Structure 1
Amino acid sequence: MNVLKFGGTSVANAENITKVINILKSEAKDTQLLAVVSALGGITDVLLEAGELANAKDEAYLTTFDAIKARHLETVEALFPEHIKEDIISEVSAILERLKDILQGIYLINEFSFKTRDKVLSFGELLSSYIISEALKLHVKDAQLKDSRELIATDSYFTKANVKEELTNQNISSYFKSSKASVTVLPGFISRNEIGETTTLGRGGSDYTAAILASALNASQLEIWTDVSGMYTAHPKLVKQAFPIAQISYQEAMELSHFGAKVLYPPTIQPVLDKNIPILIKNTFFPEDKGTRIVPTVSEDNPIKGISHLEQIALLTLEGNGMVGVPGYSRRLFEALSLNGINVALITQASSEHSICVGILDSDVTKAVEALHLEFEYDIDKHKINPVQVEENLAIVALIGDQMKSHQGISGRMFSALGENNVNIRAIAQGASERNISAVIAKKDVSKALNILHNRFFEEQVKTLNLFIMGVGNVGHRLIEQIAKQQQHLMDTLLIDIKVIGLANSKQMYFNELGVDLSHWKKALKSGRPQTLQTWIENIDALNLRNSIFLDITANQSVAESYAEYLKRSIAVVACNKIACSSNYSNYKELKRLSKKYNAPFLFETNVGAGLPVINTLNNLVNSGDKVTSIKAVLSGSLNFIFNNFNDAISFHDVVKQAQAEGYTEPDPRIDLSGVDVARKILILLRESGLQMDIEDIENNMFLPQASMDAESVDAFYETLKTHNNHFNHLLAEATAKDCKLKYVAEFNNGSAKVGLQHIPKGHPLYNLEGKDNIVIFNSERYIDQPLLIKGAGAGAEVTASGLFGDIISLARS
């Protein structure tokens, strides 16, 4: 014999009831079944509302009653064929009329006691069980309905009656000893006292009904059918990778249920626990899913069975020097809370006895503080202890598993995983049994924490990176293409899962928490919302995703000035925008400090050399104890392209136009030709070398005429290149006369730095630097006679995007 319980969602309407009937038909082939059913989904709350309205002398109770009646009659209309529908409607209507009479009585005498409340609420299960049993009879001939009130005897503690076990077990055994029905449908939740009055079994009452029946009959199994496929490793709505637990012990299931796994209410299943009867959690809507089997003990490799959480938590702290070594404070605290009906979810006490911290529900805070201040009024007045401290908007996250005590390092892995992702822990509780390790965190961090822990304990160690890209122009476009192309490869070979969560241009932004479809990202961005830097940051902060990375692919000063806001939120920053790292030295150092403080990496490899590993190589030199003594470099791919292509056959104006057309310069080429961009790059290298310098310390020998720099527009700038053509031809002629090439060089030596055009002779490493290539030559205390040389493409959207991609991969491996 098996007992099956179907909750409110499983019997919410005719369509769902049909699914229940199919399940019962299938299982009835093998064994005798008892089917315990709840009220139609949501009806219990509506019944309570009707009673409260009637008690308040509000005639709206009649409208509520009409809604209850309509819901049940609609279900009958959809379930039954015409030839029997009239009889079913007649019986349902008769039951509803009895309910209406009771509601009218409440309205007239203004009485809605617990006893009357039980009577009103019982109609939900009475109606559903009748409808379901009659529908079942159309498919299973020997199905029958049995009123649970005739079997389950209780005391008169209305709304949460105590079961009289001996009498109840006798009733159940006696009835089913003679019952030949293959399926017996019983209403859950309801019972009856010794004088025949209706009582209810409280929260989880239908589960309790099913457990009582299973225990009394020594059933082979108790099945709880609901709207999820078992108990999950974590809340599936918050952790997309969560999966159903195949098998779990009673104690583990109790722990998970206490911390919010709503498919099971622990106190109600005690009768089957006492008999070691297995419990199976199944999904009414996907009956083929295996579900979760709950048994006395389980032995598996992974000691962690699940990660659960409890929201709406507040911490109360009682502390003071007067508590140290004085017995009785703990007893008084818990007694005061208990007398006021306040449940304690978590306890932690300092070994010094200086403080006691308890976690309670937010809704109990006011009552708890009043109770404790009253209890400790004298102690507070005499300054033996401080007034109760309250912290709200918290939550508890907990690792659950029977076998954790026999595995070392679990709590260390838990806390380090949270700490690495800047989830602050406010309190910790861990019992000697180590079945539950709990941490109190900010409520806003719950989703992040659950995903972090689930990844650490249940998933192949895939590192998920959540990207927020600002700037989708030439470089941004190429980066997105590269990510789309390499996503599967990175997952397969490096276990790196890269998701683009947010995109923004200068006007709009678009977010998708599950990841933007990179094959249609342009369309998605067009459908986005208006963007400001503040709303962009606020949206990223609100998502609060682990391993969040902000990518700045702009040349915008306001964007660069916002980096601190990301770092303070523990969001990594990857930038090809050079403004931040070349701003005043104090700002550069502050960003470095924030990066370290909030464990949020700040990477900017593409600031110098686009995709070349210049900064990374320099960092390795410095971190290994070497000291840079001089630098000589061509750091502008655009300028190198221009001077490599500038000759007698082409004007300077035309070669600059060509460089812009091929994407080697900024939209305003003066940013490149002024030398300011190169000065910023050498400044960044010097700072990364350990020197304290500002842009004013870099000598800039500008080759552009002042008129070109002062031009009011880009078009006007190009006109000045034509006007001053002789100036540029003269620069070329001077270099040619010396059998040299013109190169725009950044140089550091003897503590000073400069940028400007130089004549480079044959045989010099810079002489044969082709196209848009960059080169950096480091001399150091270790590289004296033979310098360290880095050379390669230093401009272009593709290589810059590649450099940004490299920084992203570096973060995944960190």
Structure 2
Amino acid sequence: MRVIKFGGSSLANGQRFNTVCDIIEAKSQQAPVAIVVSAPQGVTNHLLAMTEYLHSDSIEQQLEQYQHLVNGIFDQLDNLPRPFNRHHAEQAFASQSQKLKRWLNGAAMLDYCPDHIRAQIICTGERLSVAILEALLNTDQQTIAVFEPELFLRTNESSLDAVADLVLARQLFSEHYSERHRISVMPGFIGVSPSGKTTTLGRNGSDYSAAVLSVCVNAQCCEIWTDVDGVYNADPRLIKDASLLEHLSYQEAMELSYFGAKVLHPKTIGPIAQHHIPCLIKNTLNLAAKGTLISDTSQVTKQVKAISNLDELTMINVSGPGMKGMVGMASRIFACMSNENISLVLISQSSSEYCISFCVYSRDAYRAQQSLQTEFELELLNQLLDPIDMQSNLSIVSLVGDGMHHQRGVAGKLFSSLAQARVNVIAIAQDSSERSISVVIEQRKSTDALKVCHQNFFSKRHTIDVFIVGCGVVGSALLTQIGRQQASLKKQGIDLKVYGIANSKGVVFNRDGICTSEWQTEFSQAVDLKKEFSPLSVSVVKDFVREQHLINPVLVDCTSDSALSRQYVDYLDEGFHVITPNKKANTDSWQYYRQLRDAARKTNRLFLYETNVGAGLPVIDTLQKLFQAGDKLVQFEGVLSGSLSYIFGQLDQGVKFSKATQIAKQNGFTEPDPRDDLSGMDVARKLLIMAREAGMALELEHIKVAPILPDNFDTSGSVDDFMQRLSEVDDYFVDKASSAQQQGKRLRYVGKIVNGECQVSIEAVTSDHPLYAIKDGENALSILSHYYQPIPLVLRGYGAGADVTAAGVFSDILRTQAWKQDI
């Protein structure tokens, strides 16, 4: 015989009842079946609400609403092809309704509903499901039997959360039901106490009823039919890429159900595990799904099988100097909880014996605290114990798997994942079986912890959650490159999404990720409609990240804005990586320069700025690795501006200075205002960054800047006015270039670090100089160090253009992948 249980979601309406009947008839052709049913979806909640609102004037109204709900199911069944004996169903429902009305009126007179009466009321929904199945399955060809749980399913005296007596239940069942029918039906959730009162097995206890019935009939299998495909390795409502588990051992299933897996009732596994009855979880809404099989067989190919979370918990701490060495303290604490009928979810004790901590459901926390204060009143008065401390709004996150046994590194990987998610661990528990590791954390961080742990234990994907500020030349090129590389990144296991784009007007978010090929349309529509469009601020972006539980947020600043650069520390403190080609932060005060690095180190986040010097050239990373390896800078020379490289390279070809500048501007090599390049300050900023990377505590004013343009040239006015006047200096540069050529030299705008001093100036370099051949927007850096001498390390490549800079930024973005090592 197979025991098959159908949950409330499988019986939500007439069509679902019809599907259930199809499944029952198909299964009964293979072997006799015993069906256990829950109440139709929503019915138990409705009945429970009736027991809470006992005003006599509202009882009739609530009963009418209940009648309307049930009539709706009857009407749906009438309109289906399957024959439905509505008269039988209505008679059974009328009989139940009369009892229901009598119980409710009695409770209203008392203005209180006793637990044993509440049990009678809330289990009428299961009896309704049985009556409907009888009306659908009883035909001339077949008659289904009904198992009455009151005849055999004996429990303890707990009216609303009873525990079954398996031995007695099995004995009584064999006495009352020796004959086997092809189809039998039993209402779930119901038991009977030794005193003969109706009990219930706890909310969602029909699974437990099915397990008990499976033991009574020696079932070959217990099937639980619900509205999901089976048990997943994480809650699929929180983790989109959670995967179905095809097999679980009894022990794994027990741990998962205990620590929050919603598919199984925690009490269900005990009876079927004790009697080695396989349990199959199936989906009524997806008959083709394979489901999850729970049995003796253990598959230990994976060390961690699943991750679960249990919310709405409170941790209670009993601590104080009187704890240490005092015999019986633990037994008194737990006796208090037992007397209050409070379940302990997790227990942890410090090795110093100073503190015992345990978690209870938050609904029980106040009673637990009051009980402990009464029990330890004298110890509290004499300050042998500290005041009973409670910490609420907590969750337990648990890793579960038979394969964890004696495997090194699992706990380390868990705590590394929690650190990656910026989650603080409040308490830890692991039993000697090593089948599960549980940590107590803040409930608001529960989803973040689940996402990171699931990614690191079960997925080969790395997530990068990007917010781009500035959608000008570089920002637009970056978005284009990201869009072009999406398919390739996915093949590499990198899930990079742009969740927000901002400019001076504000920021646009998309919780599903902005389509990078259509970002301009989405951005402009948001601006026009003012939809999800607000001024950029740390708090606005932080709130979005928290709401969407993004675990690897990256702020990319493609602006030249000083105000935003001053907020980098705030973004780092809130858990963002910060990436920028904006040089303003790194050339701010030395104090802020150090503050940025301290913030990145403290928060374990990256501050990346490879494109600050040399655009796409690997300048910063190369220097940092050299200096980390103990190298010291001796001397530096470099052409650090792609735009000036292009302009001075054109002078070598005889092109006038004004013409060369105009071409550079048209090609996007210069800033929108070429004066920013020609002032020399851009090169000075880059040189300052180089010096600071070498450990020099310099400020921008310490850089000696020799201007490119003559001192008497007027640089005021608009950009157009400036460009028109620029021809006035053509002769000045013709003379300088000619003089250099006569000596076999070329003009270059060079940044130098010599003997701890930094200067930027026009220099005439000889043909054997590393910077002699630099032109067409190239950058070149000649680094003389303790390791690289007398021949310097030379880095050379294009240092101007939006695509080159965007590619460097893109490379930095990819460096924010959370590094992990498979154990």
Query: TM-score, with normalisation over the residues of structure 2?
Result: 0.91
Equivalent of 2:514 in 513, 516, 525: 516
What one-letter code is carried by the residue in structure 2 that aligns with 1:623?
Q
1:371-520 equivalent positions in 2, closer than 5 A:
371-459=371-459, 461-492=460-491, 494-520=492-518
Answer with 255-264 or 267-276: which moved more.
Answer: 267-276
Q: How far 1:647 moved relative to its partner?
A: 8.6
Q: How far 1:421 moved relative to its partner?
A: 4.4
The alpha-carbon distance between structure 1 residues 15 and 655, as it changes in their structure 2 partners (threshold 3 A), is farther
Aligned to 1:328: 328
> 1:240-290, CA deviations, whole angstroms, 9 ceiling, x for partnerless residues?
222122111112111111110121122244332221111111111112111
- In the alignment, the residues of structure 1 paired with residue 94 and residue 189 of structure 2 have an alpha-carbon distance, to the nearest angstrom, of 21
- In the alignment, the residues of structure 1 paired with residue 393 and residue 161 of structure 2 have an alpha-carbon distance, to the nearest angstrom, of 30
Q: Is the 8 A contact 1:675 1:700 kept in 2?
A: yes
2:68 matches 1:70: yes
Q: Is the 8 A contact 1:766 1:775 kept in 2?
A: yes
Answer with 40-49 or 406-415: which moved more.
Answer: 406-415
- In the alignment, the residues of structure 2 paired with residue 653 and residue 85 of structure 1 have an alpha-carbon distance, to the nearest angstrom, of 96
> 1:588-626, CA deviations, whole angstroms, 9 ceiling, x for partnerless residues?
111111111221111110111110111111112212211
- In the alignment, the residues of structure 1 paired with residue 726 and residue 402 of structure 2 have an alpha-carbon distance, to the nearest angstrom, of 82
Q: Any unmatched runs of 5+ in structure 1?
A: none
Aligned to 2:178: 177
- In the alignment, the residues of structure 2 paired with residue 508 and residue 446 of structure 1 have an alpha-carbon distance, to the nearest angstrom, of 31
Aligned to 1:217: 217
2:55 matches 1:50: no
RMSD: 2.9
Aligned to 1:566: 571
Q: How far 1:138 moved relative to its partner?
A: 7.0
What one-letter code is carried by the residue in structure 2 that aligns with 1:580?
A
> 1:703-732, CA deviations, whole angstroms, 9 ceiling, x for partnerless residues?
3478988746xxx23313423532353134
Q: Secondary structure at the match of 1:448?
A: helix
Aligned to 1:730: 732
2:297 matches 1:261: no
Aligned to 1:286: 286
Q: Secondary structure at the match of 2:121?
A: helix
Q: How far 1:693 moved relative to its partner?
A: 0.8
- In the alignment, the residues of structure 2 paired with residue 81 and residue 357 of structure 1 have an alpha-carbon distance, to the nearest angstrom, of 58
Q: Is the 8 A contact 1:80 1:135 kept in 2?
A: no
Q: How far 1:392 moved relative to its partner?
A: 3.0
Answer with 59-68 or 88-97: which moved more.
Answer: 88-97
Q: How far 1:317 moved relative to its partner?
A: 2.8
> 1:176-201, CA deviations, whole angstroms, 9 ceiling, x for partnerless residues?
53343x32232212345678764433
The alpha-carbon distance between structure 1 residues 612 and 276, as it changes in their structure 2 partners (threshold 3 A), is same
Q: Is the 8 A contact 2:746 2:772 kept in 1?
A: yes
Q: How far 1:629 moved relative to its partner?
A: 1.4
What one-letter code is carried by the residue in structure 1 that aligns with 2:405?
K
Q: How far 1:297 moved relative to its partner?
A: 4.0
Aligned to 1:539: 544
- In the alignment, the residues of structure 1 paired with residue 714 and residue 367 of structure 2 have an alpha-carbon distance, to the nearest angstrom, of 71
The alpha-carbon distance between structure 1 residues 250 and 74, as it changes in their structure 2 partners (threshold 3 A), is same
2:783 matches 1:767: no
The alpha-carbon distance between structure 1 residues 806 and 789, as it changes in their structure 2 partners (threshold 3 A), is same
- In the alignment, the residues of structure 2 paired with residue 202 and residue 454 of structure 1 have an alpha-carbon distance, to the nearest angstrom, of 31
The alpha-carbon distance between structure 1 residues 499 and 378, as it changes in their structure 2 partners (threshold 3 A), is same
The alpha-carbon distance between structure 1 residues 587 and 236, as it changes in their structure 2 partners (threshold 3 A), is same
The alpha-carbon distance between structure 1 residues 813 and 171, as it changes in their structure 2 partners (threshold 3 A), is closer
Answer with 601-610 or 522-531: which moved more.
Answer: 522-531
Answer with 602-611 or 291-300: which moved more.
Answer: 291-300
- In the alignment, the residues of structure 1 paired with residue 765 and residue 150 of structure 2 have an alpha-carbon distance, to the nearest angstrom, of 101
The alpha-carbon distance between structure 1 residues 155 and 351, as it changes in their structure 2 partners (threshold 3 A), is closer
> 1:117-165, CA deviations, whole angstroms, 9 ceiling, x for partnerless residues?
2222122112222123323447984445554445535566533455465
Aligned to 1:114: 115
Answer with 751-760 or 215-224: which moved more.
Answer: 751-760
Q: Is the 8 A contact 1:211 1:222 kept in 2?
A: yes
- In the alignment, the residues of structure 2 paired with residue 536 and residue 709 of structure 1 have an alpha-carbon distance, to the nearest angstrom, of 43
Q: Is the 8 A contact 1:76 1:88 kept in 2?
A: no
What one-letter code is carried by the residue in structure 2 that aligns with 1:529?
F
The alpha-carbon distance between structure 1 residues 21 and 192, as it changes in their structure 2 partners (threshold 3 A), is same
The alpha-carbon distance between structure 1 residues 589 and 570, as it changes in their structure 2 partners (threshold 3 A), is same
Q: Is the 8 A contact 2:307 2:399 kept in 1?
A: yes
Q: How far 1:688 moved relative to its partner?
A: 0.8
The alpha-carbon distance between structure 1 residues 89 and 464, as it changes in their structure 2 partners (threshold 3 A), is same
The alpha-carbon distance between structure 1 residues 724 and 206, as it changes in their structure 2 partners (threshold 3 A), is closer
Q: How far 1:102 moved relative to its partner?
A: 4.1
Aligned to 1:274: 274
Query: TM-score, with normalisation over the residues of structure 1?
Result: 0.92
Aligned to 2:534: 530
Aligned to 1:784: 789
Q: Is the 8 A contact 2:542 2:574 kept in 1?
A: no
Q: Secondary structure at the match of 2:34?
A: strand
- In the alignment, the residues of structure 2 paired with residue 724 and residue 478 of structure 1 have an alpha-carbon distance, to the nearest angstrom, of 30
> 1:676-716, CA deviations, whole angstroms, 9 ceiling, x for partnerless residues?
2211111111111111111111112223478988746xxx2
Q: Is the 8 A contact 1:646 1:652 kept in 2?
A: yes
Q: Secondary structure at the match of 2:251?
A: helix
- In the alignment, the residues of structure 2 paired with residue 476 and residue 97 of structure 1 have an alpha-carbon distance, to the nearest angstrom, of 68
2:800 matches 1:798: no
- In the alignment, the residues of structure 1 paired with residue 740 and residue 486 of structure 2 have an alpha-carbon distance, to the nearest angstrom, of 52
- In the alignment, the residues of structure 2 paired with residue 291 and residue 531 of structure 1 have an alpha-carbon distance, to the nearest angstrom, of 48
Q: Is the 8 A contact 1:421 1:599 kept in 2?
A: no
Q: Is the 8 A contact 1:417 1:453 kept in 2?
A: yes
Q: Secondary structure at the match of 1:185?
A: strand
- In the alignment, the residues of structure 1 paired with residue 494 and residue 86 of structure 2 have an alpha-carbon distance, to the nearest angstrom, of 62
2:157 matches 1:152: no
Q: How far 1:415 moved relative to its partner?
A: 2.1
Q: How far 1:653 moved relative to its partner?
A: 5.0
Identity %: 35
Q: How far 1:511 moved relative to its partner?
A: 3.6
- In the alignment, the residues of structure 1 paired with residue 445 and residue 195 of structure 2 have an alpha-carbon distance, to the nearest angstrom, of 52
Q: Secondary structure at the match of 2:762?
A: strand
Q: How far 1:218 moved relative to its partner?
A: 0.2
Q: Secondary structure at the match of 1:738?
A: helix
1:21-40 equivalent positions in 2, closer than 5 A:
21-40=21-40
Q: Is the 8 A contact 2:151 2:176 kept in 1?
A: no
Answer with 581-590 or 309-318: which moved more.
Answer: 309-318
Answer with 794-803 or 315-324: which moved more.
Answer: 315-324
The alpha-carbon distance between structure 1 residues 167 and 540, as it changes in their structure 2 partners (threshold 3 A), is closer
> 1:338-374, CA deviations, whole angstroms, 9 ceiling, x for partnerless residues?
3333332222222222222222333333333333334
What one-letter code is carried by the residue in structure 2 that aligns with 1:295?
S
Q: How far 1:220 moved relative to its partner?
A: 0.5
What one-letter code is carried by the residue in structure 2 that aligns with 1:757?
I
Q: Is the 8 A contact 1:207 1:269 kept in 2?
A: no
- In the alignment, the residues of structure 2 paired with residue 121 and residue 112 of structure 1 have an alpha-carbon distance, to the nearest angstrom, of 12
1:60-209 equivalent positions in 2, closer than 5 A:
60-81=58-79, 87=87, 90-91=90-91, 94-95=94-95, 97-98=97-98, 99-107=100-108, 110-137=111-138, 141-153=142-154, 157-161=158-162, 163=164, 165=166, 168-173=169-174, 176-180=177-181, 182-192=182-192, 198-209=198-209
The alpha-carbon distance between structure 1 residues 752 and 138, as it changes in their structure 2 partners (threshold 3 A), is farther
Equivalent of 1:674 in 668, 676, 679: 679
What one-letter code is carried by the residue in structure 2 that aligns with 1:71?
L
- In the alignment, the residues of structure 1 paired with residue 747 and residue 141 of structure 2 have an alpha-carbon distance, to the nearest angstrom, of 95
Q: Is the 8 A contact 1:708 1:717 kept in 2?
A: no
- In the alignment, the residues of structure 2 paired with residue 520 and residue 144 of structure 1 have an alpha-carbon distance, to the nearest angstrom, of 62
